[in-house]
Chains A and B, each alone.
Chain A
Amino acid sequence: MQFVIDITELMEFTLFVVFSFVMLMCGLLVVVNRNPVASALCLAMCFGMVAGLFLLLEAFFLSVVQILVYAGAVMVLFLFIVMLLDLKVEKRRKIKLQGIFAGVIVTVFFFILCQQFAPLVDNAPMPHLTQRVNDVKSLGHLLYSEYMLPFLIVGLILLVATVGVVHVSRKEVKIK
């Protein structure tokens, strides 16, 4: 019988449980809440917890980017639109029983399908990343060498999205 408990492993497990529990609860609250503002705030919390899980997975740069882009930019955009459109609390409309039935069936079957793949991965403890000394530097090296073309394409996508947003949201000007 071994009485020595590895404190770091215990800590990691505890943090994992806390982060994933809060994340899943906030995700459920996004779905359940009738007020879009409350949904958006729960979504921000959910993204924060995802960033915490990224930290546990030693993806420090991604964790910071997740908070900056999602919890920062995307959430502000969502809240801005919700308040701009002045959305009221959603009125209760008659929910079709078959709709709920179909939704639950689809999601449950999807989850069962996911679980089919669980035995395929072996359940060994996760190794520590070997190139983790300088997260940003190694990511940058990979980004600018092996993934150069996708990186450029992503830049192009951002440009197209910007132009598209300006075009879509501009007022129609009548030409005489």
Chain B
Amino acid sequence: MTVTIGHYLLVSGLLFTIGLLGVILRRNILVIYMCLEIMLSAAALAFVAFAKFNDVLDGQIMVFFLITVAAAEVALGLAIIVAYYRLKQTTHIEDMNSMKF
């Protein structure tokens, strides 16, 4: 048995689907954030698999940028969550409806 790019894409797609399922199903905004990170990781996995498949390093550079941007995003997002929690004492997305029209 050899591992082909199809295997990696299958695993990456499954991981992305799990993340998407979490984002849709869960109501705790922190867990939704974790699921977003899972989706980013799935994309990174596909990038690295294609980089190896095409024998170029460009895909790995993309993942390098992706990890950096994801770290910045997590820091900013968690700061917003903490600021919101200080205001309303909740992380449940159904209680966050002050901008609802």
Residues of A within 8 A of B78 (CB): 77-78, 81
Q: How large is the interface on B (under 10, 10 to 19, 20 to 34, 35 or more residues)?
A: 35 or more
Which of A59, A84, A110, A151 makes the CB contact (< 8 A) with B60? A59
State whether A168 touches B38 (Cβ < 8 A): no
Q: How large is the interface on A (under 10, 10 to 19, 20 to 34, 35 or more residues)?
A: 35 or more
Q: Is A115 an interface residue (CB 8 A)?
A: yes
State whether A74 touches B68 (Cβ < 8 A): no
Q: Report how many A-B pairs have Cβ atoms within 8 Å.
A: 213
B2 to A, closest residue via Cβ: A125
* B:14-62 near A, CB below 8 Å: 14-22, 24-28, 30-31, 33-35, 37-38, 41, 44-45, 48-49, 51-53, 55, 57-58, 60-61
The residues of A with any CB-CB pair to B shorter than 8 Å are: 9-10, 12-13, 16, 20, 23-24, 27-28, 30-31, 36, 39-40, 43, 46-47, 50, 53-54, 56-59, 61-62, 65-66, 69-70, 73-74, 77-78, 81-82, 84-85, 87, 90, 93, 99-100, 102-104, 106-107, 110-111, 114-115, 117-118, 121, 123-127, 129-131, 138-139, 142-143, 147, 150-151, 154, 157-158, 160-162, 164-165, 168-169
The residues of B with any CB-CB pair to A shorter than 8 Å are: 1-11, 13-22, 24-28, 30-31, 33-35, 37-38, 41, 44-45, 48-49, 51-53, 55, 57-58, 60-61, 63-65, 67-76, 78-83, 85, 91-92, 94
